[in-house]
Amino acid sequence: MENKSTGTASHSFVESVQEALDRHLHVGGICLELSKAYDVINHNMFLDQLDSYGVRGSGNMWFKSYLKNRTKSV
């Protein structure tokens, strides 16, 4: 988010997790830094690997959509 630090995001995340745990809720989170991470891997192999780990359906389609028609520039 603009004008927010990673520390602010981390603090907010930890507070949310603590509140959920205090209410005896299940908690899960995925932290990704996507800016260039997927430009150096074979996208088809990555999507197959996600499928083998159980990331299917809309989750897999989200990654496929994100990776489609990406370009690199220097």
Please give the helix or strand (H or E) that residue 59 lies within, else none. Answer: helix 58-67
**C-alpha span between 42 and 5 (Å, rounded):** 31
Report mean pLDDT in 10-residue bins for the chain, 74 residues. Answer: 74 91 89 66 88 90 83 60
pLDDT of residue 73: 59
* AA letter at 58: S
